[in-house]
Amino acid sequence: MSGALQRRRPPTAQQFVLAELRHAITTGELRPGRPIRQDALAARLDVSRVPLREALKILEGEGLVVHHAHRGYYVTELSLDDLREIYRLREILEAEAVREAAAHLGPELLGVLEEAQEEVERTGASGDVTAMAAANRRFHFALIEASRMPRLVRLIGTLWDSTDAYRSLYYTQGPNRERVVHEHRGVLDALRAGDTETAVRLLDEHRAHAVAALRNVIDLAPPG
């Protein structure tokens, strides 16, 4: 096992395997529609099949992988309709979260958002897709969690998790990374000005641009 894997290894084998599978899916190492070769993966990670199966069941529950009888596990492959539905649900739920969060918006939260945005910009400029995706998530969830509605946060988190593989593909394109940076800055400006509805609108546009770009980045089935 590599030193990098050992440094990332959490306390339990299941957590370790879960983290490694998430990393492989998020970075595009395991692409949508690709099979997960359990024997080879268990050998590479130096674990038994038991924690691997447990981790796969968790990811299946989150929608990141799917199990086909007699064929095994595959990274979930979404249709364009699926992707649109997920982003539409996010639009509805995140608008509510942002409006609730606005009541708690102050210098501390703005500072957290600005720090996350600085990391988005730094990693985007360097082309580090994995780090940019993580920073992007911190940016959005700092705002979402400020709603102080834990059930809502969990629902939104599940929707985010189900499209991680597609989000990483979006970030591989330089113009998309630049667009994310620009759109985040607009959201921050609106929040600083206390203009919640403009922030909500800009976040809606932010998601819509991602869906439109993903149709060209990956081979998704046409709607209908």
- Please write the tens of the pLDDT for every residue from 202-217: 999 999 999 988 877 6
**Within-domain flag for 223:** no
Pair (110, 159) in one structural domain: yes
Look at residue 136 in the predicted model and tell me its pLDDT.
95
Q: Is the pLDDT of residue 1 over 70?
A: no
Q: CATH number for the domain including 99?
A: 1.20.120.530
Q: CATH number for the domain including 10?
A: 1.10.10.10
Pair (111, 68) in one structural domain: no
The pLDDT > 70 percentage for the chain reads 92
Confidence of residue 219 (pLDDT cuts 50, 70, 90): low
Pair (21, 86) in one structural domain: no
Average pLDDT over residues 78-90: 89
The three state secondary structure string of 55-101 is HHHHHHHHCCEEEECCCEEEECCCCHHHHHHHHHHHHHHHHHHHHHH
Look at residue 222 in the predicted model and tell me its pLDDT.
42
Exposure string of 100-112, with b = 16+ CB inside 10 Å and e = fewer, is: bbbeebeeebeeb
Interatomic CA distance for residues 58 and 55, integer angstroms = 5
Q: Of the candidates 58, 75, 92, which is a domain's last residue?
A: 75
Residue 105's φ and ψ, nearest 5 degrees, are -75, 125
Angle between the 49-62 and 13-26 helix axes, to the nearest 10 degrees?
A: 50
> CA-based angle 14:18:23, to the nearest 5?
150
Look at residue 98 in the predicted model and tell me its pLDDT.
97
Q: Are the CB atoms for 41 and 1 separated by under 8 Å?
A: no
Spell out the residues 6+ positions from residue 139 whose beta carbon is closer than 8 angstroms to its own: 113, 116, 117, 120, 184
Residue where the block lists tokens 């492989």: 24
Pair (91, 58) in one structural domain: no
Q: Of the candidates 60, 75, 90, which is a domain's last residue?
A: 75
Q: What is the domain range of residue 18?
A: 3-75
Pair (18, 95) in one structural domain: no
> Residue 40, class by beta-carbon neighbours within 10 Å (0-12 exposed, 13-18 middle, 19+ buried)?
exposed
Tell me the CA distances in angstroms from 184 to 27, 69, 204, one per residue in order: 22, 42, 12
Give the global pTM. 0.77
Residues paired with 67 in a beta bridge:
73
Pair (126, 201) in one structural domain: yes
Number of domains making up the chain: 2
Average pLDDT over residues 79-95: 92
- Which amino acid belongs to residue 197? E
- Which amino acid belongs to residue 85? E
